[in-house]
Structure 1
């Protein structure tokens, strides 16, 4: 079964293990933040999100899979229009995908687009 998985930049930068196209991975997967992803990328299919900081339940089993494709995701950030809240938020529809062969969480920003994470296509491996 193929899955599209979101991997946050901060998860990789904190303590993620680098991976490449063709790598075999064992990841805990849970529900992605579809609202955030839709804001950044528009309509996109993302099946799961990767986590290794116990954001999902502790008994979430690891999914064994092979990495088939990786795209670095970058987007613009700005204050929310009409709000006085501090902080920056993703600009609707500003996301861009750049295919990469390897992911280590250290992608460079491009102009006003900041690195936010990866979309990873996985093929799950059946356990015997």
Structure 2
């Protein structure tokens, strides 16, 4: 059975380009507290996990839809999306990059950053937004 476009293996340059696209899209859409966690060498599910918040369910849904469209247009991948109807926590699986978008209350409840830090939190990178830079 052929691999779907969302999960096809790619080279490191493609993974990094996808990661930059995700971070730029979230910055453009004014995501809050964006964190990028490198997963390469720790798990085979992806090379990067990006976690960010939106101020409302409407913003979370909008960021997820725009990001999905950009990934499809620029990378030729069709990301899998879960949680869009409620938009409290939306998961976008783009293969090499997994994105979690939350409302702040839901994010603090699940605390994925701590779960995926593997005891070496210095690997996680808080990505400054344009407004913070």
TM-score w.r.t. length of structure 1: 0.27
Larger Rg computed on CA atoms: 1
Q: Which structure has the higher relative contact order (CA within 8 Å, separation 6+)?
A: 1
